[in-house]
Structure 1
Amino acid sequence: MAANKSKAFIILILAFGIFGIINTEMGVIGILPLIADNFGISVSTAGLLVSLFALAVAISGPFLPLMFSGFNRKSVMLLVIGLFVVSNVVSIFAPNFTVALIARIVPAFFHPVYFSVAFTSAASSVSQDQVPKAIGRVFMGVTAGMVIGTPITSFIASATNLDIAMLFFAVVNALTFLAILIFVPSQPVKEKQSYGSQVRVLKKGRVWAAIFSAIFILSGMYATFSFFAEYLERVTNMSSDMITVMLVLFGLTGIAGNLLAGKLLSNNALKTAFIFPFIFVATYLILFLFGAFTVPMIAFIALWGVLFTFGLNISQYMITSSAPEAPDFSNGLFVAFANLGVTIGTFVGGAFISGLGTRSIMWSGIVFLALGFLATLFFISLTRKAKANAVTKAAA
């Protein structure tokens, strides 16, 4: 019992570390106007702090986790979190926007390294059948960072000033650094895999089916979520205060969705992956049809939050389960292609708004989810074929 509590606490620390990193990445969204004013630049230029961060993650995702896969996982986590602490502090005292931008981009390259190591550490701490549940708990940090961290940062900035809001990023990461240093045991890699043996998983069709499924699913999620506030303001006519409450509701139900997704993926992963797009598409249709009505929207925003984190969990599961022999590399692939999906979805969602109006973003999400469903069907087919071949070989 004590051992289980210890493992649960370590997984919580891993999740908190992800919260700190995601909060650093997404938290600036709510304070971009303040950053623009501080450096005397346009808001669109300040937006490079977000877009270039995501681009750095997408570029490094397949490679840096691979390079660090043979090192002690505790040491790697301390290195990455320490780098984020330093960059956060530099951002506070940056004399100009260029320095602030560099301070953001450098640690962004190491973002996938922490994610990969955290997911691998969580998975290795439990039995094989409990891996999705452990990963689901770590994903709580993703949800909290994306949805709860942004309004918290905005609130701190409005109640104090920009520097204190930026200090919040540094404090969260510093607390993570101390928690890892004190409570997480050393995690040396006992059998270092060669780079070639890990990259070789890219020869598997199932891996590519999972990758494309993840890209389309994440694109479908972010084509709408990136314009969450815009939709509620223009379609539902909610006030800014009410939108903040809806963001918190979205985040809280998303955290619950992590736990539920972990349980369902542990029980029947392929069935969960198959049904998920249908429920999400139905939800988008309802959000489109009833977007102007406040009360129904509140209920379906709660469901939206649950489904959002389901998409993250399912995408991560498909990629890593298709390459269990290379956990660090496959987790890096997930982070890289998930961020690619974020970039594509946000761009296409914005194009739909420009051409067809704000309500149309639900249709952009539906199109991507439909493509994701087709890729998921291919993944399920290849997975069942692989399992059948394994049974045949075992019987022989």
Structure 2
Amino acid sequence: MTKQNNLLIAILTLGVFAIINTEMGVIGILPLIADNFHISISKAGLLVSLFALAVAISGPIMPLLFSGINRKKVMLFVLGIFLLGNIVSVFTSSFTVLLIARVIPGFFHPIYCSLAFTAASASVSEEEAPKAVAKVIMGVSAGMVLGVPITSFIASVTSLGMAMSFFAVVNAIAFIVTFLFVPSMPVNERLSYGVQLSVLKKSILWLSIIAVILMNGAVFGVYTYLAEYLKIVTNVPEKIISVMLLIYGVANIIGNIVAGKLLSKNAIKFVVSFLFALGVVYIILFLIGQFTVPMALITLVWGILGGAGANINQYWITSAAPEAPDFANGLFLTSANLGTTIGTSVCGLFISGIGTQYIVLGGLLFLILSIVSVLLRVYTFSPTKSLFN
């Protein structure tokens, strides 16, 4: 890639980080939000699940609507919306206002992320595309590395308002860097809406969408409540929770790097292996999650798999509709966030129904169903490909 392309990908990665930081950063402070607004932890979880639902609803629509507009202007517009929402979140004393200030930006999330994935993929050869996309998806992991544990740490040593300010500052930096260093990016030609929508006729795409919903539900249904799990089940103090979340986030970056390489070699084998490995981690988590040191090791391995899962989800859908990359990336974002919404809600029911420890059972339920859907696609549409060669 040229230096200009490298700079563009770096800025796109920063922008994705800013957006994911807003989306996922609250995971580390959900217990504090619940205490501050005098609500239950499951209601505080709406800040994650409804944001994800907004992304899921707008994912197939918004990237299409904005596909003909100068991409730099689109990037600045979306980052501006997120910045405004974060500023409102800092000063509000109403949970309803906080929820609205988070959900509205969620509708614009797919525009920026779809643009980022498509631009990264288009900058290299088809074989190298998973690696290029993995660099941008690192912004997702960085959102967890910095967003979740640092927000948790800031809240524990200062205040909830200061933690919320971290989201606003990061988005402001991304906005300024984009304004100063990204050249004008007019769209010279684009696929018609009809051509892009025609991929919805493909049964392999729908099977892939179902698989991604289930896979992301399996990961984030449990991860969303990791801070609560560490507090109630593992019984560790707030500052140690921040360290555990940092371990998960750093491991995510390792997972991104590994996934980018392995998807380029034998994608099917890697996807199936990922699912069974995550199942083993969840079983171990359920059995010994109450012990601090083993929990730290579990979190490390779990984080590597969680990072790889983001790459797998993006690949699984875009590989089913390579002829419409923008729309496919929008569908990926919709599917992944719908999975987050459903997974968070279902695992929240496990918490309120039988206890925090049993959120793992919700994750395993989604995981079993995702294994079935992935194997169904493999043996229906790639019957000549071996899982093990």
* TM over 0.5, shorter chain: yes
Find the counterpart in structure 2 of residue 166 from structure 1: 164
Deviation at 1:34, TM superposition (A): 6.0
CA contact (8 A) 1:73 1:121 kept: no
Paired residue type of 1:237: N
Find the counterpart in structure 2 of residue 263 from structure 1: 261
Paired residue type of 1:280: L
In the TM superposition, what are the counterparts of 1:89-108 in structure 2 within 5 Å?
Answer: 89-94=87-92, 98-108=96-106
Deviation at 1:279, TM superposition (A): 1.2
Find the counterpart in structure 2 of residue 394 from structure 1: none
Deviation at 1:58, TM superposition (A): 1.6
Deviation at 1:94, TM superposition (A): 4.5
Q: Relative to structure 1, is the Cα distance of residues 166 and 353 closer, same or farther in structure 2, using a 3 angstrom cutoff? A: closer
Out of 348, 351, 355, the position equivalent to 2:349 is 351
Find the counterpart in structure 1 of residue 73 from structure 2: 75
Cα distance in 2 between the residues matched to 1:236 and 1:93: 33
Q: Relative to structure 1, is the Cα distance of residues 209 and 102 closer, same or farther in structure 2, using a 3 angstrom cutoff? A: same
Report the aligned-residue RMSD: 2.5
Pair 1:63 & 2:61 matched: yes
CA contact (8 A) 1:57 1:112 kept: yes
CA contact (8 A) 2:153 2:239 kept: no
Q: Relative to structure 1, is the Cα distance of residues 379 and 321 closer, same or farther in structure 2, using a 3 angstrom cutoff? A: same
CA contact (8 A) 1:148 1:247 kept: no
- Of 175-184 and 158-167, the range deviating more from structure 2: 158-167
CA contact (8 A) 1:157 1:165 kept: yes
Find the counterpart in structure 2 of residue 251 from structure 1: 249
- Of 112-121 and 237-246, the range deviating more from structure 2: 237-246
Residue-pair matches, total: 384
Deviation at 1:341, TM superposition (A): 0.7
Deviation at 1:74, TM superposition (A): 2.1
Cα distance in 2 between the residues matched to 1:25 and 1:276: 24
CA contact (8 A) 2:48 2:341 kept: no
In the TM superposition, what are the counterparts of 1:157-306 in structure 2 within 5 Å?
Answer: 157-306=155-304
Deviation at 1:93, TM superposition (A): 4.3
Deviation at 1:296, TM superposition (A): 2.7
Q: Relative to structure 1, is the Cα distance of residues 171 and 231 closer, same or farther in structure 2, using a 3 angstrom cutoff? A: closer
**CA displacement 1:43-81 (0-9 Å, x = unmatched):** 566554444322221211111111112222222111111
- Of 226-235 and 295-304, the range deviating more from structure 2: 226-235
Out of 361, 364, 377, the position equivalent to 1:363 is 361
Find the counterpart in structure 1 of residue 39 from structure 2: 42
3-state SS, counterpart of residue 324 of structure 1: coil
Q: Relative to structure 1, is the Cα distance of residues 94 and 222 closer, same or farther in structure 2, using a 3 angstrom cutoff? A: closer
Cα distance in 2 between the residues matched to 1:42 and 1:132: 42
Q: Relative to structure 1, is the Cα distance of residues 92 and 295 closer, same or farther in structure 2, using a 3 angstrom cutoff? A: closer
**CA displacement 1:110-166 (0-9 Å, x = unmatched):** 011111111111111111111111111111111222353122123333444444333
CA contact (8 A) 1:32 1:43 kept: no
- Of 377-386 and 175-184, the range deviating more from structure 2: 377-386
3-state SS, counterpart of residue 80 of structure 2: helix
CA contact (8 A) 1:132 1:266 kept: yes
Q: Relative to structure 1, is the Cα distance of residues 379 and 180 closer, same or farther in structure 2, using a 3 angstrom cutoff? A: farther
Paired residue type of 1:259: I
- Of 143-152 and 369-378, the range deviating more from structure 2: 143-152
Deviation at 1:10, TM superposition (A): 2.3
CA contact (8 A) 1:132 1:317 kept: yes
Identity rate of aligned residues, in percent? 55
3-state SS, counterpart of residue 262 of structure 1: helix
Find the counterpart in structure 1 of residue 52 from structure 2: 54
Find the counterpart in structure 2 of residue 12 from structure 1: 10
- Of 141-150 and 122-131, the range deviating more from structure 2: 141-150
Deviation at 1:306, TM superposition (A): 0.5
Deviation at 1:350, TM superposition (A): 2.3
3-state SS, counterpart of residue 71 of structure 1: coil
Find the counterpart in structure 1 of residue 372 from structure 2: 374
Cα distance in 1 between the residues matched to 2:381 and 2:70: 32
- Of 378-387 and 251-260, the range deviating more from structure 2: 378-387
CA contact (8 A) 2:152 2:242 kept: no
Deviation at 1:16, TM superposition (A): 1.4
Cα distance in 2 between the residues matched to 1:103 and 1:353: 26
Deviation at 1:225, TM superposition (A): 1.1
Cα distance in 1 between the residues matched to 2:217 and 2:262: 23
Paired residue type of 2:251: T
CA contact (8 A) 2:49 2:342 kept: no
**CA displacement 1:260-285 (0-9 Å, x = unmatched):** 10111111112211221111111212
Find the counterpart in structure 2 of residue 148 from structure 1: 146
3-state SS, counterpart of residue 330 of structure 1: helix
Paired residue type of 1:83: I
Point out where structure 2 has 5 or more consecutive residues left out of the alignment.
none
Cα distance in 2 between the residues matched to 1:277 and 1:32: 28
Deviation at 1:304, TM superposition (A): 0.4
CA contact (8 A) 2:289 2:295 kept: yes
CA contact (8 A) 1:70 1:193 kept: no
Paired residue type of 1:185: P
Point out where structure 1 has 5 or more consecutive residues left out of the alignment.
388-396
CA contact (8 A) 1:88 1:169 kept: yes
CA contact (8 A) 2:218 2:365 kept: yes
Paired residue type of 1:260: V
Cα distance in 1 between the residues matched to 2:94 and 2:356: 35
Deviation at 1:17, TM superposition (A): 0.9
- Of 125-134 and 179-188, the range deviating more from structure 2: 179-188
3-state SS, counterpart of residue 235 of structure 1: helix
